[in-house]
Structure 1
């Protein structure tokens, strides 16, 4: 099908998505490369409408000063929670860097809940244990019942300060692949009813989950797996698409 392109844009980094992962990625790029031109697409009316904003419970991360918890316990719990199928190399990286991300958010203004003594409050959730399943442990830090909103407020503010460009109500419809390299995307602007071409030196897909492919889900309606579709349409591999957590898990 021939697509009539209305406009062509160029940038250094294109991020397809504007939820928690996408904004954290954008903030990291702009902190390390302040002059980089970063563009983020989101199909919703505003990044704050992303599914991340609905998250309530907390962020699991081991405080290195906690005498009862350890990163290796977090790794074990995560691996066990995956029915022992998770990529242990990836799992190790995520668990070891988790507390660093908590500090990043707090240092940039996220209002984590605290105890009366001033320390970060913690919750325990199903599967959070010490001594490899021996007993429950308090591991998740949180911001009241709006942890996801706190993540979005903080990350969104950081990206705005550093000059990101958002294209709201814009959906990526086709990756531009040439000689094995992705050079951007063809996107559809819903409000204008026009297709645009976005050329980039690097393209990152962070479009969230695909809960809406199931009959029953608590995911927002926009979680339709668009990023997975883009990748598959381009003939590229997708890793472990069957690994979907149904929430609440009870």
Structure 2
């Protein structure tokens, strides 16, 4: 297992804070944000993209090494076709408008999940974006697209069963087959909108992550909310099963 290490950032709340290396976010509440304002759901998703920009920029600014965002789950295909189309359109827009900034800011872009199911032009945009960021050496932005943790674990187990005898399959071997194998261990998982479940996201990786459920709807989540989450993380005593 990879070691859980934290760095220290002295700029949040005026004091030293144990900074998580890897933060993951379940970005929930776009639809409810729009409904509260009597707007179509598409408006909520558009506002959610603006929140992605705010949060990813601030995560880089405070020194978070890796940020993983749950953008489209394998279960989201159950949503109406019109909404899925809106989400694909926003993904196109985000890549086209933000790719230059990611390259300039030395961000390493990673996709987890099976994005090959997306429309061909979206797949091409994603592949081009990953390729253009491939030489970067800075913070990691991992985007979960058509991702489901149970399917990830099944695929990992199947690959291990093909090449290893049962007595050689252990936690480290399974972890080496996960899509997050080149990311730091997950330290902090945040879910917005007041829901209290993981929704098939990073189930293995979250085994010893700190979980934080906040009431803020995702489009309203910003730099101050991320700072508050980091402060909450820094106040927790992580024992990893020990005393």
TM-score by length of 1: 0.26
Larger Rg: 1
Between Structure 1 and Structure 2, which shows a larger proportion of strand residues?
A: 1
